[in-house]
Amino acid sequence: MRNFALVFALFVNLLLAAQTPVVIDTLNAEQKTALKEEYKLHKESFLKNLQIDGSKKELKQIKEIFNNHFDDFEKIIDKNCIVSQSPFNQYLIKLFEEIRAQNSEIPSDVKLLVSRAFAENAAVSGDGLFQFNQSLLKCIDNEDQLVYIICHEMAHRVLNHSITGMLAYLRKDSSKELKNNVKEIKRQQYGKQTDAENLLKELAYASSRTNRYNEMQADSLGYIFYVKLSKNRQQPVAVMEKMRDSDNERDSLTINDYQKLFADASLNFNEKWFDMGDYGKYHYRESTKFNTDSLRTHPNMNQRIEMLEKEFPQYLDSADNAPVTVSAEFTKWKENVDYQAVYNLFAGEKYGSSLYEALKLYNRQPLPFLKEYISKSFEKLAEAKQKYRLNRYVSQVNVHEYTDSYNLFCTFINNLTVNELKTFAEYFTKK
């Protein structure tokens, strides 16, 4: 009987361990200082060796842009937005080195960092700083797709899109034609606003067209990098299809869900918590001044997929294809990405968003980790409401910008009193 009890206790401990998310902690003060110093040296080396196909004045202006970029980078380190030296960083570095081993044109000065930003994105700047947002893993199904995304960003680096884009902007901004147009508008007695808006549209659309072209260039060169790695050749298109649908919210909460989540709380469930009232009409936007399709810096994903399929039919249509890479390392990070997002949002002081994401997850799987962050988020929101600062953390309802589920959440939190917020915090602490 004693042996049975020991075995049962071991089983329970293993089960609890399996249900405990693996999240990457924030940097401590010493690590932040070390990271700033590392990138200070990187900045100095980069600026010292920077060369452009332009004038001395343009070089000075571009250096100033990069100095501002490094200043901003130090601020986001202080705000706990950057992950460095973690096992996930090391995993991405390993993949990068495998890519570069087969593609020698990729420069070695790339500095890879992981960002806690909630946006599902990755980007490389002209100085070789490559930031991979952890939340992007939500759009990725396997390691091959992750490898292609890195290849795509390295293509931007090889094609020097960042610096050429800066040069184009500086030249347009300082062109005689633009200055004359601005002077002419200033001299006008009537129609200044309309003409100024038209000029702004023209500049914005021209920049967006260039950026969309750059994206499609990076798709192509990135695919060339990718096929040298003997990976599954359909996965670049597969990840584009996933990213195409990434704007659609993957989960939601209804009033019935809230009733279930708070069924045992000491408060009686109050339907007035979900009374949206007239919030929506105050955020109605009758029209937009710009054609949003033209302002997209990334071309429509269907267009990008079609372009790849036309450009590389010998690979994408080939029956001779490698199997999809099975990676335990990738699976570990993929399985934990939703929990990491909750942690990241809370660490970044986005308490409304951390609560919303944690509640959606808890509704499906009530893990102790989620209870902890639900309680902590409620506590922070109670403090904010007491100080009349709740709007820093929770949006007002906007029926034209947000999903029904998120609007319901915003209504709920905005309608709770300080004591009700505290009661829910205590409820999840004891639950």
Q: Which residues pair with 123 in a beta bridge?
A: 131
pLDDT at 298: 60
Report pTM.
0.84
How many whole angstroms separate alpha carbon 127 and alpha carbon 46?
7
| Average pLDDT of the segment spanning 202-216 | 67
Helices assigned H by DSSP within 188-254: 192-227, 235-244
Q: What is the pLDDT of residues 214-253, one digit of tens each?
A: 899 999 999 999 999 989 999 999 999 998 887 778 899 9
| Average pLDDT of the segment spanning 319-326 | 85
Helices assigned H by DSSP within 50-80: 56-78
How many whole angstroms separate alpha carbon 254 and alpha carbon 405?
7
Whether 327 contacts 142, CB under 8 Å = yes
- Domain ranges in the chain are 29-136, 250-286+333-431
Please provide the average confidence, as pLDDT, over all residues in the chain. 84
| Average pLDDT of the segment spanning 252-271 | 89
The secondary structure element, H or E, covering residue 114 is strand 111-115
CA distances from 422 to 106, 257, 379, 427 (A): 53, 20, 6, 9
Q: What is the pLDDT of residues 124-143, one digit of tens each?
A: 988 889 999 999 999 999 99
Whether 380 contacts 352, CB under 8 Å = no
How many whole angstroms separate alpha carbon 53 and alpha carbon 61?
13
The string of DSSP letters for 115-166 reads E--SSS-EEE-TTSEEEEEGGGGGG--SHHHHHHHHHHHHHHHHTTHHHHHH
**pLDDT band for position 7 (50/70/90)?**
very low
Q: Which of 5, 27, 121 is nearest to 77 (CA)?
A: 27
